[in-house]
Amino acid sequence: MSGDHGSTLISAQVRHVETLLEARGLLDAGEVDTRIDEVLAGGTPANGARIVARAWVDPGFAERLLADANATIREVGLSMAGGLQEQRLKVVANTEDEHNVVVCTLCSCYPIALLGPSPGWYKSEAYRSRVVRDPRGVLAEFGVQLPATTSVAVWDASAESRYMVLPRRPDGTADLAEDELAALVTRKGLIGTAAV
């Protein structure tokens, strides 16, 4: 059930079905694109970065975030309810002892609202098949060298939950304001393939 979804045959089949649904009045013209636009609207890694920065400056927020991410991100005006139904969000925190990394081995599931559209490598068979088997090797290729004393936890988004990594706050950032901290956070950091 895995594989790339962009083949010409599949695309042609999808367009054909879309046309038939429109002809039978089951779908308005352009409705699929409109729905996709709605899901993507406002989806950017700046949202995830804002959550991370708040967690770094507010330990209470961080604690609530790890316990109930869906409720807690509403405190900063964000939500996982942008699609057809609210998706469960699970935030996993990196520590000195454990590093987390997210994958969807079956396709490319991912919290678009908080991270924006997923990068090409996230959808590649190479990343999806290799990171579950050899995460240290894959992370090293991304430039993340973990000490042997740091364990690695891989999270496979195989069902309905979506995952986001809470990176560790970098050293030497004690004087930075919350928005300056948010600017340090990258999409890779939120997936776990970068330190921040």
Catalytic positions: 104, 107-109
Per-residue DSSP letters for 87-103?
A: PPEEEEE--SSEEEEEE
**Per-residue mark of binding to another protein, 148-167 (x: CB under 8 A):** ---xxxxxxxxxxx------
Please identify, using beta-carbon distances, which residue of 160 and 171 lies nearer to another protein.
Answer: 160
Strands 162-166 and 151-156, how do they pair? unpaired
Per-residue DSSP letter, 182: H
Quick one: tokens of 112?
């678009």
Cα(89)–Cα(115) distance, integer angstroms:
12
Q: Give the count of residues interacting with another protein (CB under 8 A).
A: 21
* Binding test (CB under 8 A) with another protein, winner from 64, 90, 130, 168: 90
Range in contact with another protein (rule: CB under 8 A) among 45-53, 112-120, 131-139, 175-183: 131-139
Q: Does 133 sit near another protein (CB under 8 A)?
A: yes
Q: How many residues does the structure list for the chain?
A: 196
Binding stretches for another protein (CB under 8 A): 1, 88, 90, 105-106, 132-136, 151-161
